[in-house]
Amino acid sequence: RSSTSTFDFGSYHTLDEIYDWMNTLVHDHPTLVSKVQIGQSYESRPLYVLKFSTGGSNRSAIWLDTGIHSREWITQAVGVWTANKIATGYGQDPSITAILDSMDVFIEIIANPDGFAFTHSTDRMWRKTRSINAGSHCIGVDPNRNWDAGFGGSGSSSNPCSELYRGPYAHSEGEVQAIVDFICGHGNVKAVISIHSYSQMLLFPYGYKTAPAPNHQELNELAKKAVSDLATIFGTKYTYGSIAETIYVAAGTTVDWAYKNGVKYSFTFELRDTGHYGFLLPSNQIIPTATETWPALLDIMIHVLEHPY
């Protein structure tokens, strides 16, 4: 068995390497970390979630996912680094310890394993799932347009050949349905943080409409603090705001679904960078990106801990 101490967090890895590393993390932290299979992908790959828990039953929980768009490799790499940070930080870092003494954290590092495997084997630029679309030669659905939150509206496409294809119906993608089932089945998820790249933003609902969300002010203040703390590490500037007001109206997204289903603290990150590498962020930027993202994630998690609802 490989060791978490020899794993290169500063390199990109294949699906098998990351799944193998997840087993190692569980092995190294058996009383804290476990691996849960929440479903399977279109091509029958397992969908794994790492559960960080110090006990209790059905505690309040924080959900993080990375890699829902498979070509955004920096996100899966940040997911790995973050999972390791949480596992090794428990009992050492007071913030992590306080969070895990009261709440559980779930991390889905590879939310779109078929797409991720495809980026390694065939097309590095693949974004969508790998499901076949009836009546079209084009493959895949954009899993961040497939959620039942304004599904079918602006910023998504009905054309299966589009990168923004929403799919035939909400939750048509097994990868999306698995998360829906898990979060709804859990019933006590208080925060959803979905990590994407690139363009350096921290966004919150709504995406499908321009009206402010009922909790707009609180989410905005929290986002402001998070991006401010992120910038203290390397000076990386993030913008923040609602998806619709900050970038464009985008229907059927993860965070809108979560918010609509009662998860107040619903955010999506767009990690580095602007104007240099896009989805091809060099691996020497993995650790700096993860390092600067961490205080922002921690701000959100601590806020959730301190503001129960």
Partner 1 sequence: KKTFVGDQVLHITPRDEEQITLLRLLDDQTHPEVNYWRHPSILGHPADLLVPSSRLQEIKGFLDSHNISYSTMIEDVQKLLDEEMKTMIKSRRT
Residues that bind partner 1 (CB under 8 A): 8, 10-13, 121-125, 138, 157, 159, 161-164, 198-199, 247-248, 275-280, 282-284
Residue 72 or 108: the one with the smaller Cβ distance to partner 1 is: 72
CB-side exposure of 71: number of CA atoms within 13 Å?
15
Distance from C-alpha of 35 to C-alpha of 25, rounded to nearest angstrom: 9
For residue 223, give the nearest of 209, 207, 243 by alpha carbon.
243
CB of 184 to partner 1, least distance (A): 30
Q: Based on the residue annotation, tell me whether 270 is a catalytic residue of this protein.
A: yes
What DSSP string runs through 205-258? S-SS-SSPPTTHHHHHHHHHHHHHHHHHHH----EEEEHHHHT----S-HHHHH
CB of 127 to partner 1, least distance (A): 8
Phi, psi of 51 (to 5 degrees): -110, 125
Residue 8 or 232: the one with the smaller Cβ distance to partner 1 is: 8
Residue 88 or 199: the one with the smaller Cβ distance to partner 1 is: 199
Residue 136 or 232: the one with the smaller Cβ distance to partner 1 is: 136
CB of 73 to partner 1, least distance (A): 8
Strands 239-242, 189-197: pairing is unpaired
Could you tell me how many residues make up the chain?
A: 309
Distance from C-alpha of 23 to C-alpha of 16, rounded to nearest angstrom: 11
User: Which tokens go with 94?
Assistant: 């007071």
CB of 168 to partner 1, least distance (A): 17
CA 268 to centroid of chain Cα atoms = 7
CB of 5 to partner 1, least distance (A): 13
Residue 170 or 244: the one with the smaller Cβ distance to partner 1 is: 244
Q: Going by C-beta distance under 8 Å and a sequence separation of 6 or more, which residues neighbour residue 1?
A: 23, 24, 27
Phi, psi of 203 (to 5 degrees): -120, 155
Could you give the residue ranges of the DSSP H alpha helices within the chain?
Answer: 15-28, 73-89, 94-102, 113-121, 174-186, 216-234, 243-246, 254-260, 286-306
Catalytic choice (72, 108, 173, 270): 270
CB of 208 to partner 1, least distance (A): 15
Residue 16 or 221: the one with the smaller Cβ distance to partner 1 is: 16
CA distances to 86, 141, 200, 257 from 296, in Å: 14, 30, 12, 22
Give the catalytic positions in this structure.
270
